Structure 1
Amino acid sequence: MKVSRTCPACGYTADYSSAPLANARHPRHSCVKHRRGLDQARRRTERLLARVTRECTHPKARHAHGTRAAYVKDRCRCTKCSAANTAAGRIVTRERMYGRWQPYIDADPVRQHIAALRAAGIGVERIAALAGLSVSHTRELAEPGRGKSRGTRRVRPSTATRVLSIGINETSRAPHSRVDATGTRRRLQALIAIGWPAKLLANLLGRRPNSLQRSMTGQSVTARTAHDIATLYERLWNSRPPRMTGKQRAAADAAQAHAAAQGWPTPLAWDDIDTDPTPPALTASPVRQHEMDEIAIERAVAGDSISYDDLTAVEQQEVVRRLTAHGSSIREIAARLGTTKRTVSRRRASFGAA
C-alpha cells in the first residue's frame, strides 16, 4: 500500500511504499529544487504557447502561416504549419524513392557568373545585396578553397537563380562605384546641342552647374550619376527646351551655339550612344536663326505643342507656308501656332500669299 506525502511549504508530492520510508525520505526533498523545476516548466509552457501565435520576424522575408518556412524559420507549431511541414517531408520521401530528389545543383555556373560580375566592377557586397544573400555566403561562393576549406561545391536552385539573374550592366553597380563617363558626357552634350542649357539640366538633376561640368569633363562618374543622367536623357532627347520667354529663348540659342562651336552631335547622330565611335566633328553654325529643324516644322504643322515662338525665323516662315498650302485660314494658323492673326498675315505676305 502506497503512502503519499505533500510538502506544505512548496507543494512537492511523492508516493512511498510504506509510512516509515515516507517519514525518512520525504523530509529530505529540496523545496528550492522543486520550485526551480516548476518555474522551468512554466517557462517551457509559455514558449510553446508563444510559438503558436508568433508572427514572422524574419528580417528579409515575410513567412505566412500554413507553410513549412514558418514552421522552420519562425518555429510556429500551429496546426497549419505542422501539416505543411509534414506534407513537405512526404514529398521529399517520395522524390527520393523515385530518384528525383535534387535539392542542390552544381555551384560552378554560379561561381563563374560571380567572377564575371566582379570583373565588370560589381563587388561581392553589391552582389550579395542584389541576390538577397549574406556577404559571407557570397564570398564563399566567389572565393572557394581559402585556407583548409574545400569551398562550396553545390547550391540550392533558388540561390543559383538569384545570382544568375544579376545582369552585367551599369544598373547592377553600387551607387558610389566609378564607371566610364563617355556615355554620360555624350548624353549631356547631345541635350545641350538641341538647346537644353547646362544650368537647366543641372536644376533638373538637383545638382550645381559646376558639379555637372565635372561630369562632362572627367574620365569617370559614379554609377548613380550615370543612371540619373541616362534617365533624364531618355525623357528629354526628343523634346525641345522651354522657349516661352525671351530669356529662355536666349538661353536655348546660346546652348545650341556653344554645342555647334564645340562640334557636339545631337541625339539623332547616335545609334548606341555608349559604344558608338565618336563621329567627325560637326561644322559650326553660329547663326541659329538661319537653321531649319524639319522635325520642329512637322510637329508645328501637326499641332504637336509647338508654338510660334518656339521656331526660328525660317521655321516660322516654312510652317506658315505649309499650312497655307494645306488650305488653312489665317485664323486657323494663328490658333494652331499660338500667335496673332496680324503676325500670320505678315508672314503670308512675305511669300506673296493673300
Structure 2
Amino acid sequence: MNTADRQPPNHNTLTCYTDYKCRLPECVERYNAWSRDRERAIADGTWQPLLDAEPIRQHLLKLHAAGITIHRVATVTGLTYKSVRSFTQHDYGNAAPRRRRCTQEVAEKLLAVTLDQHTPGYVDPIGSLRRFQALVAIGWPTIHTARRAGLHPSNRTTIFQAPKMRAATAQRIADTYDEMRHQKPARHGVSATSIKRAKQQATERRWPPPKYWDENGAIDDPAFEPLYGVTKRELIAQDANWIMRTTGLDRHATAQRLGIHKSYLDHAFREHPEYDMGVAA
C-alpha cells in the first residue's frame, strides 16, 4: 500500500480504543456509544443470553462433510476463522475447550449458511499468507510449511499472488499452521542456521508471530493492517498523515487533535519522513 493511500487500520472499529489506546474524539465516542447501547440493552432485559452451541457444531460438521470448509463459513458470515473453528475443535496450544455456548447473533449467522445457498468456492489468500509468515517468525522456513500443507515447494510464494484461493487449500494451510505453531523447528529437522535466518527475515519484514494474531483475531481480515513492530512515533506519524490528508489541518492543529505537543509530531515526522506531507506550520 502506498503511503499516500495508507489508512490507519485502527480507526474504524472498537479495537482502536481498546487495543491501541487511541483517544481521538470520534473514536472515543464510538466506544462510548457501544457501551451505552450495551448498558441500555441489559437494563431493558433485551441483552441476548448465550445459547447451546451443540446444534451449531452439528451444522458446521454437515457443511464440512459437504465440502464447505470452516474458512468458507468464516468468509460468508464475516466471523473470524478462529471463532468458527472453536465450535468444532478446541485450541490445543492454549488448552481452550471447544465452544459450548454462543450469542444469538453468532448462531443466526452460522445457521444461515446452507448447502443450497453456498458452495465450497474461494477465499482471500491473505490469511494463508499471514500463517506462512507467522511460522517464519518462530523459525519455520516456508519450504517446510509448504510440504506439510501438501503444496509443491516451488509454488509456495506464487500461490498467494492470485486474488483468490481455493477454500480447501486455505483450510489445509490453516490446519498445518495450527499444528506447526506449537512445534519446535529444531525437533523436526530444521537446522539452527535455517531457524535463525527465518526469524531474521520475519524481523526485517515485520511479520508478526502467532501470538500477535491470537491477540487481535484478525489473521483472515484483509482490511486489517498489522501494526506489529511499529513504534509509537511511527503510529503518531501515520495518524497525523491520515488526519492532515482527510481534514486539511496543518501540523500544529493536527498535534492538538492527537493530544501531543507539536515538537513530538515534528520528531515523529523526522524519524518517518515517508508520512510527512511537508506542511510544517
| TM tier relative to shorter chain | 0.3 to 0.5
Higher relative contact order (CA 8 A, sep 6+): 2
TM-score (norm 1): 0.30
Larger radius of gyration, structure 1 or 2?
1
